[in-house]
Amino acid sequence: MRRLACGVIAAVVFAGAVTIAAQQRIRSGISAVQLDVLVTDGNRAVRDLKAEDFEVLDYGAPQTLDSVRTELMPVSLMLVLDTSASLTGPPLEELKRGALAALDSLDPQDTVALLTFSHQVSLRQDWTHRHEDVERAIREARASGDTSLWDALYAGISHRDPVRYQDRRSLVVFFSDGADSASWLPESALLERARRTDAVIYGITVRSDDSPAMLLNRSGVELEKPALFDGTRPFGTWTTTFERITGLTGGQLFEAPSRMRLVSAFERIIGEFRTRYVLTYRPTVDVAGWHAVKVNLKNGKGQVRVRTGYMR
C-alpha cells in the first residue's frame, strides 16, 4: 500500500511503479476488450507509449491491439463514502472536502453518483452530469451508525452508469476509516463482484494498526475458521481486503495519515485516473469464464501492474 505523505497536493505523484488496469467491455455480439492502463516511471506518468510498446496476454495468448488511446475520455465516477459514527465532526467535514475536490477535478461531460453508508446503504445521488446536485448531496451528508462497507461497495459496483458503454470509463472511489461491522455480504462476495466489474476501483483509508476484523453486527454466514485462524496472523485485516479489492481491478488503495488528511488522496486518485491509456483488442481465445490478463512493456522499463483478468 502506498502511504500518503502529509501535504501531498493535487499533482499526480507516482511512487515508482507502472500500473496497468484492465477493464473489459463486451458489446452485444462483439467481444472487444478494453484495458485501462496507467504507466509511470519513477514519479511521473509516461504518456508517450504506442501500441508497439505494449505486450498484452489474454488467456495466455498474445493479443493485437486495435487501438491505444491517450486522449481524455469521459469518466463515470461512483463515490462510495463511509458516513458511520466514527466520522462524526471534523473528519466528516474533511471527507466532504475530499469528495468535493474529486468533483472539482472532473470535466463537465463526466457523470457522477454518490452512495453513502453507515449500517444502511443510501444512494444520495443517482448518475448525473449535474455536478452541483452531487455537491449538494455531499454537503448534506450526516454521520451515524455502524459500517456496512461490503454491502455498500457491492451496491456501488453493481449500480453502473447506464451510459458507461458510450466511450466512457468507469471509476469507483471508496472511503472507509475502518473495518466493516454491519454488512450482510461477506468480503468474499465483494471480491467476486470486483472480479466481474469493468470499473477500476480506488480506495482511501486511514492509517491504523491494521487491527483484526471485528465481528459486531455482521452475519458471519461465510466465516470459515480454517481461513480465519491460520496461526500466523490475525484474520481478515481490513486493509488487506481493501488492497485485494482495488488490486483486482487495477486500482490502488491509498492510506491517509489521518481522518483529517483526505483531500490530497481524492485529488491524487482523479489525477492518476486521468493519465491512463485505454487499450482495445479482440481476444484471440473466445472462451467463456475467467480470462487472466497480463500486460508488459516491451522496452522493459518500469514495472507493470495489471488487473488479474475479467469474466467473459
Partner 1 sequence: MQALLPLSKSQQAAMAAVSRGVEAEAQGNAAGQPQPGRRASARQIQEQQTNGWSRAATEYEAALSLEPGYRLASLRLGRMRVLQGRFDDALAPLEAARDDSDPRVSYLALLYLGSLSERNRRFDDAERVYRDALRRYPRGQSAPLALANLLTRAGREAEALPFVKAMLGDERRVEPLWTLAIRPMQDVRDYAQALAELVAEVEESVE
Total residues interacting with partner 1, rule: CB under 8 A: 46
> Among 26, 31, 41, 235, which residue sits at the site for partner 1 (rule: CB under 8 A)?
235
Q: Does 222 bind partner 1 (CB under 8 A)?
A: yes
Q: Does 225 bind partner 1 (CB under 8 A)?
A: yes
Cα separations in angstroms, 222 against 185, 189, 225: 9, 9, 10
Nearest one of 10, 32, 20 to 277, comparing CA atoms = 20
Provide the CA 68 distance to its chain's centre, in angstroms: 22
Q: Which stretch binds partner 1 (CB under 8 A): 24-32, 92-100, 189-197, 270-278?
A: 189-197
Comparing CB distances to partner 1, the nearer of 218 and 294 is 218
Say if CB 37 and CB 278 are below 8 A apart: yes
The cell numbers describing 188, all together, are: 468474499
Using CA atoms of 180, 181, 185, 189 in order, give the dihedral in degrees to the nearest 10: 30
Comparing CB distances to partner 1, the nearer of 45 and 115 is 115
Say if CB 18 and CB 302 are below 8 A apart: yes
Q: Does 191 bind partner 1 (CB under 8 A)?
A: no
Q: Whole-number minimum distance, CB 25 to partner 1, in Å? A: 15
Q: Does 259 bind partner 1 (CB under 8 A)?
A: no
- Residue list 119-178, contact with partner 1 (CB under 8 A): 119-123, 126, 146, 148, 151, 154-155, 158-160
> Among 67, 219, 258, 284, which residue sits at the site for partner 1 (rule: CB under 8 A)?
219
Nearest one of 141, 134, 72 to 103, comparing CA atoms = 134
